[in-house]
Amino acid sequence: MGFETLVLAKVAKVLGSDKQAMFEYGTLFVSGLTKDEAEKVRDMLSMNWMLRVEMNDMGSTVNEFAYDFS
């Protein structure tokens, strides 16, 4: 499995299947989140891959957050 597939599977476990998650140009976008859910996703990503994960609120009406990895 590729990195993106693994990440999407882990996000689905944290949030359930009703959330929309996708990768675009190496950035993970997840919509329909509360701030608490977004922070849970960030913490899970950081802990599972020991990466620095930057979370940004996209400010949209669908509560979309973007996650970049470094």
What DSSP letter does each residue of 15-28 carry, written as one string?
H-TTSEEEEETTEE
Q: How far apart are CA 27 and CA 9, in angstroms?
A: 15
Q: Taking 70 as the threshold, does the pLDDT of residue 69 lie above it?
A: yes
CB 60 within 8 A of CB 31: yes
pLDDT in tens, 11-62: 999 898 767 899 999 999 999 999 999 999 999 999 887 778 999 999 877 8
Helices marked H in the chain: 3-15, 35-49
Look at the pTM and tell me if it is higher than 0.75: yes
Q: How far apart are CA 9 and CA 56, in angstroms?
A: 21
What pLDDT, on the 0 to 100 scale, is given for residue 18? 65
